């Protein structure tokens, strides 16, 4: 196979200075053997729109059509790459010049790759704030590093994340979700990654595309998969398209600037005004994030192919989709179908930030919706249950408050086609830190993480939760996304070596390690059934079980040790059974009652 060089370089080599100077083609390469044989190339260059491309004979590949949009500087070329095509290099002639386009072989087993699922535990990282492993240049980038600014770039990079993969794996996590790594060349607030200026390029302040490939490879060697964060709804105002849009309707335009009102329920509301629905999906997030119009066919195809390119090129185990429902919903049907067509075992998780299970369930694969809408996305972020978990631990208990919200929240699983595929999280880059929200109560924090790890969900933990990292309790993105201790030269406290950690931090880190390493090997937690008992007197009990094994989970949020009568749970346990505390060292024979420490979770494996 020929070595793949960047297309920009290839085009500069093949086009004379007086020619149409096509300087960009996306996707930059493709593969033979994809299930969908269609491929649309977007070629950008001065005056190229009316050129008539010709494809040199290549077995199994056909040039079907080409067309322009509005701009004179874009040409869209439709190819068919049939199953009999072999790896090599296409030669496409445009205006007397020849463009070389690589067709690569897929990695063995690529189509059958296994995505993340309930057997996994996800560790969410904000790359700029995790660790600086290299001194990367800032040339050509609008925003430099300023670690003193909570909203500035702090210099974390791919090298830093790669150096600390052992730390993540040692904690028991099997997947890493980094917030977006693609180029965000903006004047400020560029560190978060959600305002892409180039969909196919790793931001140079994080490293190179090759560095990303090495990161994925090193993670896989440790049994850790990588979930790519993909933004379909919007771009950054510095995106290269904005200097020369392919068509005026490439982004959603209004007579005057109009922000989305975030009224997500307009999409399901049978009484919603059409203008409200339009403002939700077509309104911009902020003036610096143009809202993409996925009703434009070429853009829809572009976003589908871009997603597939990252999965195939770098061997990803899943996709997290930002601001999921803000995109055009018919496009989301086609996009999710295309991803799952190519990778039937992959997982995709969408962000639908709603407290209502019915709204979240609307977007999950297999849901029979009232309006006939069909989705192919397997997973959603479980915002309703995350809110219930916080309320359960902070509110006084009553018929409709406190632990009852956790119990009733889980009881709403009947609205989901596959509740086990939902991702339940302690917090993320947009929410205050768990430890702070729980009023810096270590016991409640352990209860929350124990629940996330043992209930019928895919668990996700925000970096630093294992260190009791804190933030303001109101939204403050820069401080929520604080630097991981020990990630920078000169840090006096280090999560990675333990230097400078308080006894409480060391205890929490060790406890988290034991919890998730135990979970990693516990099949009954991955795919067993669940039975829960209504909370009583500040204690909530549920069981995970299958034909061979039972795990009992007791959450005592009271400030006193509890003697728990066991007769109530006779459907799942019997006197005389042996029970092992999975996070401690004790084994006991069950009698008529069980002692549960104050402000603590107790997780027992029961022998038959």
Q: What is the CATH number of domain 7-104?
A: 2.60.40.10
Residues 62 and 38 sit within 8 Å (Cβ to Cβ): no
User: Which residue intervals of 106-164 are DSSP H helices?
Assistant: 158-163
**Residue 467 pLDDT exceeds 90:** yes
Asked whether the domain spanning 527-606 has the same topology as the one spanning 7-104, the reply is: yes
Alpha-carbon distance 227 to 204, whole Å?
Answer: 20
Q: Is the dihedral of CA 250, 251, 254, 257 positive or negative?
A: negative
Average pLDDT over residues 235-252: 97
The confidence score (pLDDT) of residue 138 equals: 81
DSSP letters, 72-99, are: TTEEEEEEEE-TT--SEEEEEEETTEEE
66, containing H or E segment = strand 61-67
- Give how far Cα 230 sits from Cα of 177, 322, 334, 457, Å: 11, 6, 16, 22
Residue 333's pLDDT band (boundaries 50, 70, 90)?
Answer: very high
**Residue 12 pLDDT exceeds 80:** no
Of 178, 191, 185, the C-alpha closest to 230 is: 178
Alpha-carbon distance 455 to 372, whole Å?
Answer: 30
For tokens 């999950």, name the residue: 364
> Tens of pLDDT along 515-572?
999 999 999 999 999 999 999 999 999 999 999 999 999 999 999 999 999 999 999 9
> Tens of pLDDT along 383-441?
999 999 999 999 999 999 999 999 999 999 999 999 999 999 999 999 999 999 999 99
**Residue 1 pLDDT exceeds 70:** no
> Tens of pLDDT along 155-176?
999 999 999 999 999 999 999 9
Task: Name beta bridge partners: 381.
Answer: 423
Residues 563 and 597 sit within 8 Å (Cβ to Cβ): no
Asked whether the whole model's pTM tops 0.85, one would answer yes
For tokens 């001065």, name the residue: 46
> Tens of pLDDT along 50-77?
999 999 999 999 999 999 999 999 999 9
Alpha-carbon distance 604 to 608, whole Å?
Answer: 13
| CA 186 to chain centroid | 22
Residue 95's pLDDT band (boundaries 50, 70, 90)?
Answer: confident
The confidence score (pLDDT) of residue 114 equals: 96
Residue 97's pLDDT band (boundaries 50, 70, 90)?
Answer: confident
For tokens 């009698």, name the residue: 591
Residues 159 and 151 sit within 8 Å (Cβ to Cβ): no
Alpha-carbon distance 475 to 355, whole Å?
Answer: 17
The confidence score (pLDDT) of residue 3 equals: 28
Of 306, 295, 286, the C-alpha closest to 252 is: 295
Alpha-carbon distance 314 to 233, whole Å?
Answer: 23
Q: Record the tokens describing residue 322, joined without a space.
A: 């930002």
**Residue 7 pLDDT exceeds 70:** no
Of 435, 437, 351, 436, the C-alpha closest to 387 is: 437
Catalytic positions: 322, 351
**Residue 19 pLDDT exceeds 60:** no
Provide, for the chain, the percentages of residues in helix, strand and coil under a 3-state DSSP scheme, each rounded to the nearest 5: 30, 25, 50
446, containing H or E segment = helix 442-454
Residue 608's pLDDT band (boundaries 50, 70, 90)?
Answer: confident
Domain assignments of the chain as residue spans, ordered by start = 7-104, 527-606
Beta-strand runs (E) in 82-172: 88-94, 97-104, 122-125
Alpha-carbon distance 190 to 212, whole Å?
Answer: 18
Residue 22's pLDDT band (boundaries 50, 70, 90)?
Answer: low
23, containing H or E segment = strand 22-26
The confidence score (pLDDT) of residue 171 equals: 98
Average pLDDT over residues 428-455: 98
Q: Which CATH superfamily is domain 527-606 in?
A: Golgi alpha-mannosidase II (2.60.40.1180)
Q: Between the CA atoms of 18, 22, 23 and 26, what dihedral angle is there, to the nearest 10 degrees?
A: -170
The confidence score (pLDDT) of residue 9 equals: 32
Backbone angles phi, psi at 133, to 5 degrees: -105, -10
| CA 243 to chain centroid | 29
Residue 329, SS3 per DSSP: helix
> Tens of pLDDT along 107-144?
999 999 999 999 999 999 999 999 999 988 788 899 99
Residues 421 and 456 sit within 8 Å (Cβ to Cβ): no
Q: Record the tokens describing residue 471, joined without a space.
A: 């933030």
Average pLDDT over residues 11-35: 67
582 by Cβ neighbours in 10 Å (0-12 / 13-18 / 19+) ranks as middle
Q: Record the tokens describing residue 15, joined without a space.
A: 């086009």
Of 190, 172, 173, the C-alpha closest to 181 is: 190
Q: What does DSSP assign to residue 145?
A: B
Beta-strand runs (E) in 370-468: 379-380, 423-425, 458-462
Residues 88 and 11 sit within 8 Å (Cβ to Cβ): no
- Give how far Cα 75 sits from Cα of 43, 48, 134, 135, 304, Å: 5, 6, 39, 39, 18
Alpha-carbon distance 357 to 355, whole Å?
Answer: 7
Residues 20 and 47 sit within 8 Å (Cβ to Cβ): yes
Residues 354 and 384 sit within 8 Å (Cβ to Cβ): yes
Q: What does DSSP assign to residue 472?
A: -
The confidence score (pLDDT) of residue 400 equals: 94
318, containing H or E segment = strand 318-322
- Give how far Cα 508 sits from Cα of 21, 453, 481, Å: 58, 15, 19
Q: CB atoms < 10 A from the CB of 120, how many?
A: 24
Q: Record the tokens describing residue 554, joined without a space.
A: 């007791």
Q: Record the tokens describing residue 502, joined without a space.
A: 């308080």
266 by Cβ neighbours in 10 Å (0-12 / 13-18 / 19+) ranks as buried
Alpha-carbon distance 306 to 605, whole Å?
Answer: 45
Task: Name beta bridge partners: 350.
Answer: 321, 380
Burial 17-46 (b: 16+ CB within 10 A, else e): eebbbbbbbbbbbbbbbbeebebbbbbbbe
Alpha-carbon distance 54 to 62, whole Å?
Answer: 10
């Amino acid at each position: 196979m020929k070595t793949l060089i960047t297309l920009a370089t290839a085009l500069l080599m093949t086009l004379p200075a007086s020619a149409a100077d096509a300087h960009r083609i996306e996707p930059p390469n493709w593969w033979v053997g994809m299930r969908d044989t269609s491929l649309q190339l977007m070629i950008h260059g001065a005056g190229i729109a009316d050129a008539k491309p010709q494809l040199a004979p290549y077995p199994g590949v056909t040039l079907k059509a080409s067309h322009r949009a509005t701009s004179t500087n874009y040409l869209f070329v439709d190819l068919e790459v049939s199953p009999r095509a072999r790896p090599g290099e296409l030669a496409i002639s445009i205006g007397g010049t020849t463009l070389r386009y690589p067709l690569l072989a897929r990695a063995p087993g690529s189509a059958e790759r296994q995505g993340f699922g309930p057997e996994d535990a996800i560790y969410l990282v904000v790359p700029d704030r995790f660790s600086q492993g290299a001194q990367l240049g800032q040339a050509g980038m609008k925003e430099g590093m300023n670690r003193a600014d909570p909203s500035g770039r702090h210099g974390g990079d791919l090298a830093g994340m790669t150096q600390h993969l052992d730390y993540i794996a040692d904690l028991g996590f099997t997947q890493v979700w980094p917030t977006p790594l693609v180029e965000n060349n903006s004047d400020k607030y560029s560190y978060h990654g959600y305002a892409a200026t180039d969909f196919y390029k790793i931001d140079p302040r994080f490293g190179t595309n090759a560095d990303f490939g090495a990161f994925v490879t090193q993670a896989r060697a440790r049994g850790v998969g990588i979930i790519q964060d993909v933004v379909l709804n919007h771009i950054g105002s510095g995106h290269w398209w904005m200097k020369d849009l392919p068509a005026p309707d490439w982004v959603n335009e209004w007579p005057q600037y109009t922000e989305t009102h975030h009224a997500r329920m307009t999409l399901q509301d049978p009484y919603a005004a059409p203008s409200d629905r339009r403002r939700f999906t077509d309104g911009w997030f902020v003036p610096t994030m143009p809202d993409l119009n996925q009703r434009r066919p070429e853009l829809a195809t572009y976003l589908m192919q871009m997603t597939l390119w990252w999965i195939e090129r770098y061997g990803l185990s899943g996709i997290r989709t930002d601001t999921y429902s803000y995109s055009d919903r018919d496009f989301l049907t086609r996009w999710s179908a295309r991803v799952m067509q190519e990778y039937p075992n992959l997982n995709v998780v969408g962000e639908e930030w709603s407290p209502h299970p019915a709204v979240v369930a609307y977007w999950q694969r297999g849901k029979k919706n009232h309006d006939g809408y069909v989705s192919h996305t397997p997973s959603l972020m479980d915002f309703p249950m995350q809110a219930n978990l916080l309320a359960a631990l902070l509110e006084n208990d009553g018929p409709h408050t406190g632990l009852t919200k956790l119990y009733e929240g889980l009881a709403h699983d009947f609205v989901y086609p596959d509740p086990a595929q939902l991702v339940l999280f302690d917090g993320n880059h947009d929410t205050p830190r768990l430890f702070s929200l729980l009023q810096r109560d270590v016991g409640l924090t352990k209860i929350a993480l124990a629940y996330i790890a043992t209930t019928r969900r895919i668990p996700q933990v925000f970096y630093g939760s294992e260190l009791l990292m804190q933030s303001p309790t109101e939204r403050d993105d820069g401080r929520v996304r604080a630097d991981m201790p020990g990630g920078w030269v000169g840090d006096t406290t280090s999560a990675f070596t333990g230097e400078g950690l308080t006894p409480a931090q060391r205890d929490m880190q060790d406890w988290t390690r034991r919890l998730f390493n135990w979970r990693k090997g516990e099949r009954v937690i991955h795919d067993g059934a669940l039975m829960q008992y209504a909370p009583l007197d500040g204690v909530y009990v549920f069981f995970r079980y299958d034909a061979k094994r039972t795990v009992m989970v007791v959450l005592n949020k009271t400030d006193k040790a509890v003697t728990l009568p066991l007769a109530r749970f006779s459907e799942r346990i019997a006197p005389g059974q042996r029970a092992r505390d999975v996070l401690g060292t004790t084994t006991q024979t069950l009698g008529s009652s069980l002692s549960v420490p104050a402000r603590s979770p107790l997780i027992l494996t029961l022998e038959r």
